[in-house]
Amino acid sequence: MADNKWSGFYKLSVDERKKKVIENAKLNTDEAALLDKSGPLGIELADKMSENVIGTIELPLAVALNFVVDSKEVVIPMAIEEPSVVAAASYAAKLAAKNGGFATSYSGSLMIGQVQIVKLEKPEEARDNIDKMRDEIILEADSHAKHLHPYGGGVKDCSARLISTDRGKMLIVEFVVNVSDAMGANAVNTVLEGISPRLAQISGGETRMRILTNLATQRMAGARAVWSKEDVGGEAGVEAILDCWSMAMADPFRRSTHNKGIMNGIDAVLVACGNDWRAVEAGAHAYACMKQGALTTFRKTAEGDLEGKILLPMAVGTIGGSLRVNPVARMCLKILGVTTAGEFASVLASVGLAQNFAALRALALEGIQKGHMRLHSRNVAAAAGARPEEIEKVAELMGLNINEAGAKEALARLRGK
């Protein structure tokens, strides 16, 4: 077998890694030069944050405006390439602010971790033994969470349940851990690893997986807002939006895209603020599947206005993880003006609700493409070769012909050719 040309790649310097990738992919000079560019996240810092680093990649860093969350004006940083997401969130927040903005809730920073136990001779007896020794187990598990104690965190609860699988019955021991203002994955997993030998001894089985769940049902963030009927096309507009929302509640194919629209805004904020957007995505969609419904609810108020609510798992942090070394993420949290995980989660829920309202309003009243393509036209103009000072005019001249041919035609008209 031939030697693996990538063997030891991680041991190379960044420059050596870049050289190997450039040669392997046959990058030209202009393409290779892109690897030498870096923004506020310098290459040296990036190399400490990830594995096999060869460069950095940029996303536009934008801000969504007009948000009033729990009576406080908030500027929302978003790292995203899609202009309509930022514009839609800002517009929805502006309309909501007329009625006081977003009122939020947060259940607390409680994460759930699971220890899987297999090869049980007497599964029911093993479960009962864990239940009987619950207090002792919590105390020992909490000894592995001492770093959380100064912040009011630690192990708060433990329970055991049996599941039936095609490999027989398994015992799942679940721990509830208060992780304070951290996302908490490392803290929870440390507790699980530490307590596993004791659980194996008590149950008489063997432990397998010891890991947190991203379905953080004890770490829920909610938001509520009201939009005046005059801002959504009157009574007919309210009814149209409710029809669109009802389809998402009843049909899984529509619900998938409905919930994805919610995450458009939330993910953009998470990326900007250096949080694990993948974990929040997983939790949100798993929660929606468990509920067999959409993450938002809408109804008509007694006054005929539109009320929206959102509730979803929100495992986020303002300390720990890559936040300690990522200056851009720390800056974005400062722009956001939050210091606790609860404040952060509440803002994210508000962004998700705003994004969902904006999408429903567009779908119900004008079709999603009109506003989306109008904003996208600037990207099309730039791709067609428009200079920065020409982009807005080319986008305007394209009209509804928003494609490469339309952009080139508009550019030629602008330049008098």
260 noted as active-site residue? yes
Which of 276, 285, 343, 408 is labelled catalytic? Answer: 276
Which of 19, 20, 72, 82 is labelled catalytic? Answer: 82
144 noted as active-site residue? no
C-alpha 209/C-alpha 146 separation (Å) is 22
135 noted as active-site residue? no
Which of 260, 300, 309, 393 is labelled catalytic? Answer: 260
CA distances from 120 to 21, 163, 351, 408 (A): 49, 12, 46, 70
Which of 18, 229, 285, 372 is labelled catalytic? Answer: 372
- Tokens 């596993």 label which residue? 196
147 noted as active-site residue? no
Residue numbers annotated as active site: 82, 260, 276, 372
